[in-house]
Structure 1
Amino acid sequence: MIYLEKAKKRRHGPDLEKYIRVERRYTTYREASRFYSIQYYRLVRLAKEADACWKIRKTVLVDLDKLDEYIENFKDGGNESWDT
């Protein structure tokens, strides 16, 4: 007896290229935390403070240009909440 198997559907993430602008740099929380060498949850909090998060369906993208600008201004401002 021969059993026929159904072809498995491949799951693909959303096509983010149609949502994002090309001239900006976007990445996920995990990749950004590795890039900046800081803890994951600290980066999440920092990105939310910088308003650099962009949620598309179940994926959250971090605008690295906006985050860089926030970190530069943050360093000059002397905000003490960074160590907490």
Structure 2
Amino acid sequence: MSTAVKMDEDAKSKLEELQAEIKLKTGKKVTQQEILTQLIESAVESRAEFVDSFRDGSTSLSETEVQAFNEGMIASGVETDEDDIDDILYG
């Protein structure tokens, strides 16, 4: 069963470029449907990463950001346990 998928001109152009590159580099002629099917399979394999790509903003820190955060941490020399935290927060 085949279903039409609407896409803008830019996406269509990129799909055509990809199709041409596959033919050029592999010598194999593939349909745009085959390309889209393969792209979907690839997205399913890394589903969480693919879904996250649609989130607004960054969902994780880069290594540089993690390092900067850790450099800002200091040790006070005072050991704190859960009861201390509860006392501070809840009195």
- Is the pair's TM-score, using the shorter chain for normalization, greater than 0.5? no
TM-score (ref. length: structure 2):
0.27
Higher Rg:
2
Structure with more of its chain in helix, by fraction: 2
TM-score (ref. length: structure 1):
0.29
Structure with more of its chain in strand, by fraction: 1
